[in-house]
Amino acid sequence: MLNIFCPHCGEQRSEEEFHTAGQAHIPRPLDPSTCTDEEWGEYLFFRDNPRGLHHELWIHAAGCRQYFNVTRDTLSYEIFETYKIGEKPSVTAKAKSAPLTSRTAGAKA
Amino acid sequence: MSTVNVYKQRPDAAHAESPLFHAGLHELAGKGKSTAGVVLREKKLLGHLTLRGDGHDAAFAGAVHKITGLELPGALGLVVKGETSLQWLGPDEWLLIVPGGTEFAIEQKLREALVGQHYQAVNVSGGQTIVELSGPKVRELLMKSTSYDVHPRNFPVGKAVGTVFAKSQLVIRHTGEDTWELVVRRSFADYIWLWLQDASAEYGLAIEA
């Protein structure tokens, strides 16, 4: 059972209160009518399926019923951070190595 | 006034039935053991209003305070004054519970006070009910019903959380040392009522009218 921090409720809640809603940070094309079929198809149907760090949209379905973003590892299920919609993730693939090694080391110790 | 039509959902002449009407709680009252560990009482037919708006906006918070006499609570907060209570449901959503029969007038007053603002007020009285549980064994009953930590250290009086309960979902409110309230949706009320009877069997269950 995972414990997930809800950024709206401000505390850890059990996984069963949440649902996942797929990949986060997918901007809708500003002018859909000028999109090519390929661009629109990419927006609608194609999603990343990374091995490792991933930004996802989750909803606190049984609690405050708000969507928020989760940065997590698809391999280890470790959740690095949760943040509100509209905020930028502080843990990204590029910045991952430096802060995370210390955090995982701390968790194991 | 806004152009929204406000309906009196429970006309005075009409016969209203709470979500637990079929359970016949008034007939069960007083039949349980006097030493029961759990005492159940339905606070039926109260006025429930959901309010949505920007809590950081002084105009919105001020108008709600003017009408209800209560400050908008922050995350997981519950404030009670007499029979009126105001509870945080989400970052822009609150549940206002008022004595039954006054919800129509209060909704209209709120709409008058909030005119011109970006807000929502919906009368949901018919959609849910409150089950009050009291007694020394209520916390143990909750512990086997929900995964949420109901220890007073984590769940003090004046806190209210929406969480999973049995195989359903509801809002748990801690209103007194040994007193808890469950905000139950109408369609789940029968299931929750059956669950509570089963779960409280080992402690003894008494019903209050």
pLDDT tens digit string along B5-55?
A: 888 888 777 888 999 999 999 999 988 788 899 999 999 999 999 999 999
For residue B2, the model assigns a pLDDT of 60
Contact at 8 Å (CB) between B181 and B138?
no
**3-state class of B175 per DSSP?**
strand
Write the CATH number of the domain with boundaries B21-208. Answer: 3.30.1360.120
From first CA to last CA, the distance across chain B in angstroms is: 40
Per-residue confidence band for A23, with pLDDT thresholds at 50, 70 and 90:
very high
- Would you kindly state where each structural domain of chain B is located, as residue ranges? 21-208
Q: Does the beta carbon of B5 lie under 8 angstroms from any beta carbon of chain A?
A: no
Is residue B207 exposed (0-12), middle (13-18) or buried (19+ Cβ within 10 Å)?
A: buried
The answer on pLDDT for A96 being more than 70 is: no
Q: Edge-to-edge strands of the sheet including B84-90?
A: B78-81, B84-90, B93-98, B47-52, B120-123
The token pair at B9 is 């959902």
- Kindly provide the b/e burial profile for residues B1-23, where b requires at least 16 CB atoms within 10 angstroms of the residue's own CB: eeeeeeeebbeeeeeeebbbbeb
Q: Which helix (H) or strand (E) holds A57?
A: strand A53-59
Q: Which residues of A touch B148 (CB under 8 A)?
A: 13-14
Contact at 8 Å (CB) between B135 and B25?
no
Chosen for mutation from A1, A4, A11, A15 (greatest number of chain B CBs closer than 10 Å) is A11
**Domain span including residue A81:** 3-108
Q: Of B166, B189, B179, give the one whose Cα is nearest residue B78.
A: B179
Sign of the four-CA dihedral B69, B176, B23, B29: negative
Chain CA centroid to CA B15, Å: 21
pLDDT tens sequence for chain B (209 residues): 567 888 888 877 788 899 999 999 999 998 878 889 999 999 999 999 999 999 999 999 999 999 999 999 999 999 999 999 999 999 999 999 999 999 999 999 999 999 999 999 999 999 999 999 999 999 999 999 999 999 999 999 999 999 999 999 999 999 999 999 999 999 999 999 999 999 999 999 999 98
The shortest CB-CB distance from A9 to any of B75, B164, B169 is to: B75
The answer on pLDDT for A97 being more than 70 is: no
Q: Which residues of A touch B89 (CB under 8 A)?
A: 64-65
The token pair at B67 is 């009408």
From first CA to last CA, the distance across chain A in angstroms is: 21
The answer on pLDDT for A103 being more than 70 is: no
Chosen for mutation from B148, B153, B155, B172 (greatest number of chain A CBs closer than 10 Å) is B148
Query: How many separate domains does chain A show?
Result: 1
Contact B161 A14 (CB under 8 A): no
Backbone angles phi, psi at A82, to 5 degrees: -125, 145
- Residue B115's identity, in one-letter code, is V
Q: Of A35, A4, A27, give the one whose Cα is nearest residue A85.
A: A27
For residue A109, the model assigns a pLDDT of 36
For residue B33, the model assigns a pLDDT of 80
Q: Does the beta carbon of B56 lie under 8 angstroms from any beta carbon of chain A?
A: no
Contact at 8 Å (CB) between B140 and B187?
no
How far A103 CA sits from the closest chain B CA (Å)?
26
Contact at 8 Å (CB) between B183 and B128?
yes
Q: Is this prediction's ipTM beyond 0.85?
A: yes
The shortest CB-CB distance from A10 to any of B75, B162, B169 is to: B75
Contact A62 B91 (CB under 8 A): no
CA distance B38 to B48: 25
The answer on pLDDT for A57 being more than 90 is: yes
The answer on pLDDT for A99 being more than 60 is: no
For residue B39, the model assigns a pLDDT of 96
Contact B147 A16 (CB under 8 A): yes
With an 8 Å Cβ cutoff, the interface of chain A facing chain B consists of 1, 8-11, 13-14, 16-17, 61-66
For residue B168, the model assigns a pLDDT of 96
CATH of residue A90:
3.30.2270.10
